[in-house]
Amino acid sequence: MNTILLSIGSNRFAKTNIDKAKRMLTRLFPGMIFTPPILTEPDDEKYSFLFRNVLAKVETGLMPEEIIEKIKQTERAVGRSPRDKYLGKVIIDIDLIKYNDEILRPEDYQREYVQQLLSAFDETPSPDTVSSGKPTEKSSTEETTVMETPKDENSTIETPTVEIPTEDNPTEETPTKD
């Protein structure tokens, strides 16, 4: 069996699109486990909304080409179209970043949020403690935000918050981007 690591991200209706992708991927790859989500700033000016990202890990007998074909089918089923990236929209983006010990996308693998999310697999060795496609009480409300470091020492990043009531926490704050 081969261990694979997928990176999943979205910046439009992100929770809905990632949850849909997680359900589809779990059907294609039984036993797949997911990290909790993390919110990140876009690293390209053409994107104006925060990204929601998760990692997924599973063992499979498939070869990389077969896995990539399945994740591309999943992206299309969730609603990704070729022109979306040009418009600054990422409905869903799923990448195979590691296959066994081979890092297939080194630049993605080295991203700060990927390294942070990788630690979630180390901290939660049991599939029962990591979200498996269906939101759990913890994974549906707990998010971390990674903010880009300002390029100029004198500049600052301000992240306004918006209060969004939920059943569990009527005053939960969610970061937004201007």
pLDDT in tens, 65-102: 999 999 999 999 999 998 887 888 899 999 999 999 99
- Residue 59 makes CB contacts below 8 A (sequence gap 6+) with 1, 2, 3, 4, 31
The number of beta carbons lying within 10 Å of the beta carbon of residue 171 is 8
Model confidence, pTM: 0.70
pLDDT single digits (tens) 59-68: 999 999 999 9
Looking at domain 2-146, its CATH class is alpha beta
DSSP 123-136: H--SGGGS--SSPP
DSSP symbol at 86 = G
